[in-house]
Amino acid sequence: MFDLFKIAVRNLIRYKRRTFLTASLIAIGVIFVLVFISVSGSFKNLIIGQVTDSMLGHMQIHRKGYVASLDSLPLTMNLKPKAVEKVENVLKPMPEIECYSKRIKFGGMFSNFVETTNIRLNGVWPEKEFKTVPLLQSRIVKGDKGIKKGEILIPELIEKGMKVKIGDSVVIIATNQDGSVNGKQFRVAGVLESATGPGGRDGYIHIEDARDILRMEEMEISEIALRLRDFSKLHQIYASLQSSLSSQRNSKGKPVFEVHTWEKLSPFYNISRMIDLMTFFIKLMLIAIVLVSIMNVMIMAVYERIREIGTIAAIGTMPEKILSMFIIEGFFLGIFGTVCGIVLGTVSVYVINIMKVSFDFGRNTGLILSPSIKVWDILVISAIVIVVSIIASFQPAFKASRMEPIEALRHV
């Protein structure tokens, strides 16, 4: 086998320029794919981080049907204390869940005593909320980095539109689930920068204040946002939660809860899927590049070496050995191009990291890309190139192995 490798390598060295050009083409393809995967992956992770850590959390649990009517923030679909307790009994023993935050979500009117506008509010336990969505505090661009009772964090849009300042008194008016209206005065404690995605323009108050305004006799919860210790286990934990909570049925035998990952809650998931789709097509392009370039070079190699093939066949070399010789040659060409591509691709990604390329996404500005190459991606790309190299070499190699020595020896 070693001798077949030696012959293959020498044949590649024999046509230096052609080998270099073909390997360069493969390397460029590999660099392109690696840089694309790492940059798009970095972009994706950054935005997913923004979406989940600013407001959504990694997962959310609601009463069944709540998400379908999320736009109206229906108070009638809140979870009752018993239901919340059942959920917490499932969540607390799970070590994979870092923390969770219970929220009361509702719509109301915001008045500065001169003008009135509508507002979406989240009543939260501040400490738990800040742990569950750690970027929330960094979104507070003015005022206190916390939420106390009697205080409100308002979105930037309302601050500007209603000309409200930190420390001003405002009134929140809301209708409770019985239809009665109630109002409560708040001090503006901070201003929240908007974030892309659902809930990105919401205000925040303490959960006890939300209960007061909505005149809840007992603490009802609209949603429970979860943060996982390891985000990569999202789907695994989702499946586990889903199975635990789906066993909870109401008196009509229907499921009480619904669990959603961030993917079902944010429109960015569609962009993320488009990025995945583009990555898939970029990989297809790489396959095409490798297939065409290797097949072309191997067809040329066979054509130029017809007399040599005739000679070795006449000497008694078996067809399968001739087949192996050419396949190994294509295989090495693929490996050479892949190794060059991986080295140069890694260097390119390193350079992008050094350059600290920044971009804006929605209202998030100055996000810095930090692309990285995963070992898994390198393995997948290498496997693609190597397998395609072998496939591309097969046809010319098969032709060489089937050549009649007498005809090959006559070839001029």
Nearer CB in complex with other proteins: 315/354: 315
Nearer CB in complex with other proteins: 3/178: 3
Count of residues that bind other proteins according to CB under 8 A: 22
Helix/strand number for the chain, H first, E second: 13, 12
**Binding window for other proteins (CB under 8 A); candidates: 40-48, 104-112, 278-286, 310-318:** 310-318
Binder of other proteins out of 14, 148, 165, 235 (CB under 8 A): 14
Cα gap 82→104, rounded to integer Å:
16
β-strand 97-111 against 116-124: which pairing, if any? Answer: antiparallel
Read off the DSSP letter of residue 218.
S
Find the shortest distance in angstroms from Cβ 320 to other proteins.
9
Binder of other proteins out of 311, 346, 353, 382 (CB under 8 A): 311
53 neighbors 133 (Cβ within 8 angstroms) = yes
- Beta strands per DSSP E along 6-155: 59-63, 97-111, 116-124, 140-143, 151-155
Residue 308 within binding range of other proteins, rule CB under 8 A: yes
Is the dihedral angle over the CA atoms 241, 243, 244, 248 positive or is it negative?
A: positive
Nearer CB in complex with other proteins: 303/350: 303
Q: In the stretch 25-54, what mask flags binding to other proteins with x, by CB under 8 A?
A: ------------------------------
Residue 411 within binding range of other proteins, rule CB under 8 A: no
Q: In the stretch 315-354, what mask flags binding to other proteins with x, by CB under 8 A?
A: xxxxx-x---------------------------------
Cα gap 243→260, rounded to integer Å:
13
- At 6, the amino acid letter reads K
Residue 375 within binding range of other proteins, rule CB under 8 A: no
Among candidate residues 356, 338, 336, the one with its CA nearest the CA of residue 346:
338
Nearer CB in complex with other proteins: 171/409: 409
To 10 degrees, what angle do helices 234-246 and 81-91 make? 130
Instruction: Please tell me whether residue 281 adopts helix, strand or coil conformation.
Output: helix
Residue 11 within binding range of other proteins, rule CB under 8 A: yes
- At 250, the amino acid letter reads N
**Binding window for other proteins (CB under 8 A); candidates: 19-27, 194-202, 314-322, 368-376:** 314-322
Using CB under 8 A as the criterion, which residues of the chain lie in contact with other proteins when the complex forms?
3, 7, 10-11, 13-14, 307-308, 310-319, 321, 405-406, 409
